[in-house]
């Protein structure tokens, strides 16, 4: 038996993360021709947006896709960002899990340090060619090189380096890819960039497609979003494992100082409450904490009221910015937007949910000559086009009883629903970052946000229907005035013109009475809105929302 075991484990060896993703590239979003091309554009564009914003630069991003052969394309993405220092180019484009984001408790579109390197690997395994990088930090020198990945060691391989003077500032990356396909559908690069323009109204995006057509989404706002600052995890949502992990890394001398130094919104007074509830000695060293004690502290945390988490590490799109973006891209006849207060999910991670509804105009998916409901999902301003069925946003949208809000046939109406989740760590269902897991707290916040914008939409639709009914009634009455006047002239010899004038005055007076009645109706609708808000709060307190 010992010989068999020894023989089996002769083949045992370690693998690098690059080797793992090479064999499991579908986990990074490379699972189909259309999706693979959109994933490439997504990874490069999100990197450009993050770099520009962090440097305080209004983003100007150009994307060009050229067809070189059947399922063979060249993708070029260029930005006006801060550029990449020469010493970091290889790590950015040729090393998995290397980056500036994962270790910081701060909101970023990219998180794992896989995206750009994943594109390099995909170019490498489909064409055998490296990606070409041209970058400058604005110091008067331009650095250019080709990058590949040593898959076994997960290390960059840099060749054909050049350095020369120039006025460029930013980064241009050029890659060739096979096994990809461009289509102008709801899953293609065009739609991805269109949605990116909605979630990032401060960015100008220019796209040249394989047919040579040039598409431009101009900036809707000239102000950069606030720059997030690193913050601490909030105590709500922590697990015993989280607490023990933080404690093992802490340099604090006691549990008291550990809690105050490590977690957001935890004061000395709150630590005292924890001590009294648990009976645990908080003068001990953090690394002496046992699993049972950690579990007891987590239970006690749930009984204490802490201030809402700090949002200095988050920057949602913002209600005004979403409204401008929706008007700029969708041109609806009505829209409603809300930004929810910050909340937390497991691990003490803060998040903010924003939702909007656009009705009429160019809202909704265009299907032949009609428009149908469209769901736009975003995470940290990045569009999510794939795996919609596995995403909590889709689940919540499908849970809403849209008939209750005047959308009797919502699926076949010109409606676009926009939901953006902002967080330091988005709980994606996979490394492909296209669907958000169904965390209870996130589920509740999305539902509350959608109910709020749906109420406002309901009021608009109700008014629109009433206005149409009144207009139709008025048209009907006006239509019969000449006939009535003519009949009265024949029957009693009345002056036809005088009769028409009197009847017209009666109709106009009646129409004004209807409009006056609308004001009373609006007051009633406001009262109904207040009652619905109270009902939602009661549902939340009773835990019935999200079940």
pLDDT in tens, 49-62: 989 988 999 999 99
**51 with 183, same domain?**
yes
Half-sphere exposure of 166 (CA within 13 A, CB side): 13
Band (pLDDT 50/70/90 cuts) for residue 462 is low
- Average pLDDT score over residue span 61-78: 97
Does pLDDT of 103 surpass 50? no
Residues 293, 213 share a domain: no
Q: Do the bridges between strand 334-339 and strand 155-165 make them parallel or antiparallel, or are there none, so unpaired?
A: unpaired
Cα distances (angstroms) measured from residue 403 to each of 413, 457, 467, 521: 12, 12, 20, 20
CA–CA distance, 442 with 298 (Å, rounded to integer): 20
What is the rounded distance in angstroms from the CA atom of residue 264 to the CA atom of residue 28?
33
Task: Please give the pLDDT value at position 83.
Answer: 95
Average pLDDT, the chain: 83
Q: Cα separation of 33 and 188, whole Å? A: 10
Token pair for 417:
């629903």
**Residue 275 covered by a domain:** yes
Q: Tally the domains of the chain.
A: 4
Summarised one tens digit per residue, pLDDT across range 364-387 is 988 888 899 999 999 988 899 988
Percent of the chain past pLDDT 90, that is, above it, reads: 47
> CATH code at 213?
3.30.565.10
Structure tokens, 239: 């697990």
- Place 2 in a pLDDT band, splitting at 50, 70 and 90: low
Instruction: For residue 520, name the pLDDT band (cuts at 50, 70, 90).
Output: very low
pLDDT in tens, 396-428: 999 999 888 888 888 898 999 999 999 888 898
Classify residue 308: in a domain, yes or no.
Answer: no
Residue 71 included in any domain: yes
pLDDT at position 528 over 60? no
379 & 400 share domain: yes
Task: With respect to residue 480, please indicate whether it lies within any of the assigned structural domains.
Answer: yes
Pairwise pLDDT comparison (338 vs 524), residue with the higher score = 338
Query: Do 400 and 285 lie in a common domain?
Result: no
| 447 and 495, same domain (yes or no) | no
Question: Residue 462 is encoded by which pair of tokens?
Answer: 């109700």
Q: What is the pLDDT of residue 329?
A: 87
Distance separating alpha carbons of residues 76 and 65, to the nearest angstrom? 7
Same domain, yes or no: 169 and 74: yes
pLDDT at position 41 over 50: yes
d(CA 522, CA 497): 38
Whether residues 244 and 344 share a domain: the answer is: no
CATH, residue 339: 3.30.230.10
The confidence score (pLDDT) of residue 124 equals 92
The answer to whether position 307 is within a domain reads no
- Is 227 part of any domain? no
Q: Does 6 reside within a domain?
A: no
Rounded mean pLDDT, 102-124: 66
Report helix, strand or coil for 148: strand
Among 17-21, 215-219, 275-279, 448-452, the minimum mean pLDDT is found in: 17-21
Find how far residue 217's CA is from the centre of its chain: 18
How far apart CA 177 and CA 183 sit, in angstroms, is 15
Angle formed by the axes of helices 268-278 and 291-301, to 10°? 120
Domain check: are 167 and 209 in the same one? Answer: yes
204 compared with 487, residue with greater pLDDT? 204
Lowest-confidence segment of 455-459, 497-501, 514-518, 520-524 by average pLDDT: 520-524
Indicate whether 85 pLDDT > 90.
Answer: yes
pLDDT for the residue numbered 102: 42
Residues linked to residue 79 through DSSP beta bridges, in sequence order? 61, 171
User: What pLDDT does residue 177 have?
Assistant: 96
User: Once rounded to an integer, what is the mean pLDDT over residues 169-184?
Assistant: 95
User: How high is the pLDDT of residue 97?
Assistant: 67
Residues in the chain: 547
Mean pLDDT of 523-538: 50
| 135 beta partners | 143, 171
Q: pLDDT at position 100, please? A: 46
Q: Are residues 446 and 468 in the same domain?
A: no
Most confident by average pLDDT, 67-81, 83-97, 324-338: 67-81
CB 310 within 8 A of CB 350: yes
Query: Nearest CA to 226 among 205, 210, 202, 247?
Result: 202
Residue 373's pLDDT is 92
Residues 463 and 430 grouped into a single domain:
no
Q: Give the sign of the dihedral formed by CA 289, CA 291, CA 296, CA 299.
A: positive
| Per-residue confidence (pLDDT) for residue 244, from 0 to 100 | 93
What was the pLDDT predicted at 316? 85
> Which residue, 272, 301, 330, sits at the end of a domain?
301
**Of the candidates 528, 527, 525, 545, the residue with the CA atom closest to the CA atom of residue 536:** 545
Q: Are strands 169-178 and 204-208 parallel, antiparallel or unpaired?
A: unpaired
Residue 512 belongs to domain spanning: 459-542
My answer on whether 494 and 377 are in the same domain is no
Instruction: Decide which of 392 and 346 is more confident.
Output: 392
Question: In angstroms, how far is CA 325 from the centroid of its own chain?
Answer: 14
pLDDT at 444: 94
**pLDDT (mean) for 318-332:** 89
CB 136 within 8 A of CB 86: no
CA distance 356 to 393: 13
Dump pLDDT digits (tens) for 220-274: 899 888 777 777 888 887 889 989 999 999 999 999 999 999 998 899 999 999 9
Enclosing H/E stretch for 439 = none
Query: Is residue 289 pLDDT above 90, yes or no?
Result: yes
Is 113 a residue whose pLDDT tops 50?
A: no
Tell me the three state secondary structure of residue 31.
Answer: coil
Is residue 145, in this structure, part of any structural domain at all?
A: yes
User: Do residues 43 and 99 share a domain?
Assistant: yes
């Amino acid at each position: 038996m010992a010989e068999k075991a020894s023989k089996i484990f002769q083949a045992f060896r370690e693998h690098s993360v690059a080797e793992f993703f090479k064999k499991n590239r579908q986990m990074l979003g490379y699972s189909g021709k259309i999706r693979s091309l959109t994933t490439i554009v997504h990874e490069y564009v999100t990197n450009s947006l993050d770099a520009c914003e962090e440097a305080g630069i209004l983003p100007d991003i150009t994307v060009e896709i050229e067809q070189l052969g059947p399922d063979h394309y060249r993708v070029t993405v260029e930005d006006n960002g801060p550029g990449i220092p020469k010493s970091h180019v290889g790590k950015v484009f040729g090393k998995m899990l290397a980056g500036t984001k994962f270790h910081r408790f701060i909101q970023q579109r990219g998180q794992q340090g896989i995206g750009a390197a994943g594109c390099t690997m995909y170019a490498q395994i489909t064409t055998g060619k490296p990606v070409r990088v041209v970058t400058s930090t604005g110091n008067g020198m331009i650095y250019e090189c080709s990058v590949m990945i040593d898959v076994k060691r997960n290390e960059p391989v840099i060749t054909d380096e050049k350095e020369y003077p120039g006025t460029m500032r930013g980064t241009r990356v050029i890659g060739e890819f096979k096994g990809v396909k461009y289509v102008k559908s709801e899953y293609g690069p065009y739609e991805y960039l269109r949605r990116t323009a909605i979630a990032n109204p401060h960015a100008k995006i220019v796209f040249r497609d394989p047919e040579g057509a040039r598409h431009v989404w101009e900036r809707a706002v000239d102000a950069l979003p606030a720059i997030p600052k690193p913050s601490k995890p909030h105590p709500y949502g922590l697990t015993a494992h989280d607490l023990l992990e933080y404690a093992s890394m802490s340099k604090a001398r006691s549990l008291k100082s550990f809690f105050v130094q490590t977690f957001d919104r935890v004061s000395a007074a709150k630590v005292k409450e924890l001590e009294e509830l648990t009976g645990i000695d908080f003068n001990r060293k953090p690394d002496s904490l046992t699993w049972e004690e950690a579990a007891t502290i987590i239970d006690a945390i749930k009984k204490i009221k802490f201030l809402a988490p700090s949002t200095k590490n988050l920057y949602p799109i913002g209600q005004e910015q979403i409204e401008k973006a929706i008007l700029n891209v969708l041109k609806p006849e009505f829209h409603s937007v809300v930004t929810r207060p910050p909340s937390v999910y497991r691990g003490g991670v803060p998040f903010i949910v924003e939702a909007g509804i656009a009705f009429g105009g160019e809202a909704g998916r265009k299907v032949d000559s009609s428009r149908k409901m469209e769901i736009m999902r975003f995470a940290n301003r990045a569009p999510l086009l794939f795996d919609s069925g596995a995403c909590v946003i889709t689940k919540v949208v499908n849970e809403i009883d849209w008939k209750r809000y005047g959308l009797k046939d919502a699926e076949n109406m010109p409606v676009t629903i926009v939901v953006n989740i902002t967080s330091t760590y988005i709980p994606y269902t996979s490394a492909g970052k296209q669907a958000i897991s169904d965390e209870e707290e996130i589920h509740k916040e999305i539902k509350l946000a959608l109910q709020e914008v749906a109420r406002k939409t309901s009021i608009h639709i109700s008014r629109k229907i009433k206005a149409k009914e009144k207009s139709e009634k008025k048209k009907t009455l006006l239509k019969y005035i000449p006939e009535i006047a003519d009949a009265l002239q024949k029957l009693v010899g009345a002056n036809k013109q005088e009769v028409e004038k009197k009847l017209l005055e009666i109709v106009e007076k009646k129409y004004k009475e209807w409009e006056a009645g609308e004001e009373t109706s609006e007051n009633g609708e406001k009262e109904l809105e207040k009652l619905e808000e109270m009902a939602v709060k009661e549902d939340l307190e009773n835990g019935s929302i999200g079940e």
